[in-house]
Amino acid sequence: MPAFPTNEEIVLEGTAVSPGLAFAPAHIIARGLQAPEIYEISEQRIETEIQRVRDALKKTKEQIANLQKHIEEISDETDAQIFEAHIMLLSDSSLIKKVEHAIRERLQNAEFSFYAIIQNYAEAIRRVNDPYLAERAADIDDIAQRVLRNFSASDKNSSPTEESPEHSHIIIAHDLSPSDTVSMDRKRSLGFATEQGSVNSHTAILARSLGIPAVVGLQGLIIEIRALSYTILDGYAGKLIINPKPSTVAHYKEIQRQKKAEERELEKIRTRNTSTVDGRDITLSANVEFNHEFPLVESSGAAGIGLFRTEFYLLGQGEIPSEEIQYQVYSEAAKCTYPHQAIIRTLDAGGDKLPAEPLPETEPNPFLGWRGIRVSLSRIGMFKEQLRAILRASAHGRLGVMFPLVSAIGELIVAKSILQECMEELDREGVAYDPGIEVGVMIEVPSAAIMADELAKEVDFFSIGTNDLIQYTLAVDRVNKHVSDLYKPTSPAVIRLIKRTIDAANDNNIWTGVCGEMASDLSLTPLLIGLGVDEMSVGTHQLPRIKKAIRSISHAQCAALADEALKMRYSADILKLSRDFAMAHYPQLLS
């Protein structure tokens, strides 16, 4: 399939999942392959780069041949035949010609030209619904990594110093995992566009939380787009503009100027209280994933951390950090946010998040499987290390601990007993901690919302995780494109469960927060305020807008709106009610 013409503006429309604009060359990545460095070459270096391709392929074939020989010596000839496909691929004249053509036409270095061609091979095979071919895609990944390693091994001085790599880019991919998203180099990766994904996926949620512009649902993109094509990513309207005309660039630069002017206006209220016009105080805190985000909490004007998603910090390093290392990070959170509170959510693995550990077999339904508090309660040693670290860190500020995906009161009682056990251990060791540390529970499943009156007797606060509460209440997998349109935050059933939770908390004199995506949705701010939430936790990039919205509305009017919404039968009516109210009071934030 040919690449897009280099001199023609192409506008692709997908789904906007994270607002923002980005201007940069396209950087294509493929699953399973680690992208090499990209740099432009002069015409004088074309033949040199082509020779580097031939040398790397030759060296790889020699390695495979030696590997075959070794396998034959320790096993038999049949086992060694598994590498025949590798040899055939390395000798494929069509592949070699395409790589050489890419070098000549695109004036890109040899390793990236090879990478750009080979990842298309692998992605095309992955799209065929055939288990055998899926295995062949893995073979291509393996052989490609071998070739890429041999580029650097065969020519240490291949990259001339005057041809430095491009530092800014927009990631183009078939799909990205949550871990891919949180590990992006924010200085270089200005945004991303993918073929797969939905507005409700955890990857999209993280993009919004981290302030990374993103567009998903661009079918066929990775096969057709040319590497290093200059692009504009429009995370507001859900567009990717390839080879934009000068007039298009000027148009988007003007939009960017306007957005920056809006940011300067929001900066003026950064340090002000988050209160409605009639005096209702709301605690507005921040969601974070890593300790390097702690400084952003204060600079955004947040009143502490409402959700520290520890799974990305704990599971993104290959192994669980020790109690001592965790203690250092949680202590940093306590110190950075003092006198405000920092709430540490215990490990929330599984589902569409990172797995806690490799499983012997794939879970048939991970969303209903080994995830959330279930993982911690089945790995007591790991759980206690995290709890001890949190408790020790609580001596340095105001920390809270929160248990995820609790579906029954028995789980909460057991988790609390383990926390108490950790306290007693620290008492015996003479280690300081805050004995009054607040303990909370996530309300994410209908059973927890229904039993909120009983759960409230055991904790100091609730935090409503709306993302999971919606999908479990409506039986809708939010990342399944076939049913994602049924994922409706304003479903009457969801709204009533939220109200039930808040009322149970009020009856037991504890506070209720919302840390899911509904808290970041400006269209739903009036509804949540009206339902009676005490705290909202959002991404630091969205926080100033939410603060402006809250300061623009009346709690009394929102309460009347919520009463009306609770009588409605259709989600669309509730959404319109809240959005119309928002548009009447802060239209500039919704444009």
Find how far residue 469's CA is from the centre of its chain: 19
Residue of 27, 174, 422, 515 marked catalytic = 515
d(CA 460, CA 589): 34
d(CA 461, CA 161): 57
Find how far residue 140's CA is from the centre of its chain: 27
Residue 231 pairs with which residues in a beta bridge? Answer: 24, 242
Residue 291 backbone dihedrals phi, psi, to 5 degrees: -70, -25
Radius of gyration of the chain (CA): 26
Residue of 202, 340, 396, 555 marked catalytic = 202
Q: How far is CA 191 from CA 114, 173, 210, 212, 233, in A?
A: 24, 11, 11, 5, 7
Active site residue 515: yes
Active site residue 555: no
d(CA 117, CA 105): 13
Spatial neighbors of 351 by CB under 8 A, at least 6 apart, are 202, 366, 367, 369, 371, 372, 468
H/E element, 466: helix 466-474
According to DSSP H, which parts of 167-269 are helical? 178-182, 202-210, 221-224, 246-267
Angle between helices 466-474 and 492-507 (to 10 degrees): 130
Q: How many CB atoms lie within 10 A of CB 506?
A: 14
CB 309 within 8 A of CB 178: no
Q: How far is CA 289 from CA 172, 182, 208, 209, in A?
A: 23, 8, 12, 9
Amino acid in the structure at residue 491: S
Task: State the catalytic residues.
Answer: 202, 515
